[in-house]
């Protein structure tokens, strides 16, 4: 497992990121299996692997949202706010 910085992740192409995510998920699965069978001494690798996957998935998702339409979020109104405006 490599230690990738956010800048390095952002410089990768989307296809490269998807391949790295798939590879890292396989690595994480192997680490979890080793942990379950008590063959892993340093469980910190599990956490680092999960965080690396999350960082890469975040960059991919940001790119997906950036390519699509601009998403507008309307403020959430509760039922008490709605009933006050109706009166």
Domains present along the chain, CATH in parentheses? 6-70 (1.10.287)
10-48, pLDDT tens digit by residue? 999 999 999 999 999 999 999 999 999 988 888 899 999
64-76, pLDDT tens digit by residue? 999 644 445 566 6
Choose among 18, 5, 45: nearest CA to 29: 45
87 against 11, higher pLDDT:
11
- What lies within 8 Å, CB to CB, of 25 at 6+ separation is 53
Quickly list H helices, the chain.
Answer: 6-11, 14-36, 44-67, 79-86
Band of pLDDT at residue 80, cut at 50, 70 and 90: low
Give dist(CA 46, CA 25) in Å, integer.
Answer: 11
């Amino acid at each position: 497992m490599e230690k990738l910085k956010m800048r390095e992740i952002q410089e990768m192409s989307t296809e490269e990121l998807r391949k790295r995510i798939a590879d890292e998920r396989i690595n994480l699965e192997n680490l979890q299996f080793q942990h379950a069978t008590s063959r892993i001494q340093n469980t910190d690798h599990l956490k680092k692997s999960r965080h690396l996957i999350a960082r890469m998935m975040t960059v991919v998702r940001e790119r997906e949202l950036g390519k699509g339409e601009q998403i507008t979020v309307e403020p959430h109104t509760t039922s008490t706010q709605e009933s006050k405006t109706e009166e």
